[in-house]
Amino acid sequence: MSRSFLSLSSLTREEFNALIDRAIAGKKNPSAWGRPLEGKSIALFFEKPSTRTRLSFEVAVYQLGGQPLVLTGQDLQISRGEDIADTARVMRRYLHGIMGRVRSHETLEALASYSGIPVINGLSDKFHPCQALADYMTLRENSVPAGSRFVFCGDGSSNMAHSLILGSAHYGCEIVIATPAELLPAADVLTIAARLGGKVSITQDAKAAAKDADVLYTDVWVSMGEEAQAYEKKKLLAPYQLNESLLAQAKKSVIVLHCLPAHKDEEITESVFESPNAKIFDQAENRLHAQKAVLEFLLK
């Protein structure tokens, strides 16, 4: 069984930091990557829409010398009932790796277990580790030190909050999750973060959370597949909007991050999104460099 990347908890702190260092070095000097995927075919499997994950993985595999194969659920016999175990066992006969964006994290676990080839999580209902890796790369690029205060405002039970919590333990920063009591992070994620040495606090007071923040982060309130809960979630999350009032609480040097796509004037105001503190499009670009580091780590 090859090594997969389904969650940041599968990395040691040293591996996490080495991936960030590698991504930053490769961003500065793209020719240093070489062609570690020469002769290798990687499936990019999407059960859900994507802009950044699709672009960054397809370009990353191509630039590393490999062949990206973009597949949606509709392209495969999965759409007609073929099970994931058989699909995975066929994939291993053709491919060297799989990136999956899936509805259920269990699908990725089954792909990894039945294919035996490296599987990369390009977003599941539980985690979004590739995004979090690019996010912490953006912190390192902006000289945000270990021990800093990272504040996430929004849905604490989301895949993004979970991955940022685990990443904070590896990065060595304190993470504050400002979220309603109805949307707390999953208990098992908090247990893993504690085991990794993470310092996590949870509050319902977004303004107090933002005080002296080094990083302010938010994400869309209604994730893909949650449309039926849109009204309820928007009501719960309204006090957690990343706006000028929260920005004023933070350090002057604070960086503002959003993993995109953004719903402006919902989870983040247009003025904060466009403020000089926002590093959102560097963060989006960093998906490409972080993805390359992960692909090289698993497939070289």
Side-by-side strand order, sheet with 119-121 = 67-72, 41-46, 97-101, 119-121
Give the interface segment with ligand CP, choosing from 48-56, 72-80, 195-203, 206-214 (CB under 6 A).
48-56
Determine contact, residues 130/294, Cβ cutoff 8 Å. Answer: yes
Distances (CA, A) of 212 to 18, 169, 170, 246: 28, 20, 21, 10
Nearer to ligand CP, 160 or 206 (CB): 160
Among the listed residues 22, 52, 128, 170, the single catalytic one is 128
Q: Is 93 a catalytic residue?
A: no
Could you say which of 7, 9, 50, 159 contacts ligand CP (CB under 6 A)?
A: 50
259 is catalytic: yes
Annotated catalytic residue: which of 101, 105, 162, 170?
A: 101
* Contact with ligand CP (CB under 6 A) among 131, 148, 163, 269: 131
Q: Which of 153, 155, 113 is CA-nearest to residue 247? A: 153
Only one residue has tokens 């205060």, namely 149
Q: Is 130 a catalytic residue?
A: no
Catalytic residue among 125, 131, 149, 283: 131
Burial of residue 46 (CB within 10 Å: 0-12, 13-18, 19+) is buried
Q: Is 134 in the site for ligand CP (CB under 6 A)?
A: no
- Asked if 53 is part of the footprint of ligand CP (rule: CB under 6 A), the reply reads yes
Q: Identify whether 287 is a catalytic site residue.
A: yes
Taking the C-alpha atoms of residue 99 and residue 287, their distance in angstroms, rounded to an integer, is 14
Q: Which of 219, 283, 289, 291 is catalytic?
A: 219
126 binds ligand CP (CB under 6 A): no
Q: Closer to ligand CP at the Cβ: 160 or 196?
A: 160
What H or E segment, with its residue span, contains residue 247? helix 244-249
Interacting positions 236-265 with ligand CP (CB under 6 A): 259-260
- Number of residues interacting with ligand CP: please give it, by CB under 6 A: 8
* CB nearer ligand CP, residue 131 or residue 269: 131
Among 22, 27, 40, 52, binds ligand CP (CB under 6 A): 52
219: annotated active-site residue: yes
Coil/strand/helix, residue 149? strand
User: Is residue 75 flagged as an active site residue?
Assistant: no
Nearest-approach distance from CB 284 to ligand CP, in angstroms: 7
Cα 65 to chain centroid distance, Å, stands at 24
Helices (H) and strands (E) in the chain, counts: 12, 9
Least distance from ligand CP to the Cβ atom of residue 100, Å? 12
- Best CA proximity match to 139, nearest among 128, 130, 129, 150: 150
Which residues have a catalytic role annotated? 101, 128, 131, 219, 259, 287
What residues line the site for ligand CP (CB under 6 A)? 50-53, 123, 131, 259-260
